[in-house]
Amino acid sequence: MKAKPWRIAVVLGVAAVLLVAIYFEPTHCVRGWLWGESFFEGRPTSWWRCELHQYETQIQEGALLIEPAQPFQFRVYSRKLSYTQQIREWWTGLRIGPDVATPALLTGNPQAIPVLEELLADSSPKIRLFAQIGLGKDPEIGKE
């Protein structure tokens, strides 16, 4: 018995749709598992890479009220607005503003180390900087 050409086309079409859905799946979990990536908080390295691209960081200086002569530096993180937040802001006219919070990957959790080590090899200097910060090797803090 010979397979009908339209059945083969349907099977190939369904397979192509499934492959595209897996590749563009927003959590990247299937792709991360297939590529053997490290995971932190249920998300693979590729998801954290995309998440960190949404953040900006800058160094600020401060001083303690007890000893104002000894200034110190610290990092402030802000997350860019998502596309839907930008649309909502435009539509309502209400200023939402960026999220100001440290990404969970950079809080010093030892379980994040495998993901951070993989991110050290990333092609983006911004992602490599975030990986260094997460591993406690901030290259910019303390420079004069």
State the average pLDDT for the chain: 84
Q: What angle do CA 36, 24, 85 make, to 5 degrees?
A: 120
| pTM of full prediction above 0.75 | no
Q: Phi and psi at residue 88, in whole multiples of 5°?
A: -60, -40
Q: How confident is the model at residue 35 (pLDDT cuts 50, 70, 90)?
A: confident
- Residue 89's pLDDT is what? 81
pLDDT in tens, 60-114: 887 777 766 677 778 888 888 777 778 888 888 777 766 678 889 999 899 999 9
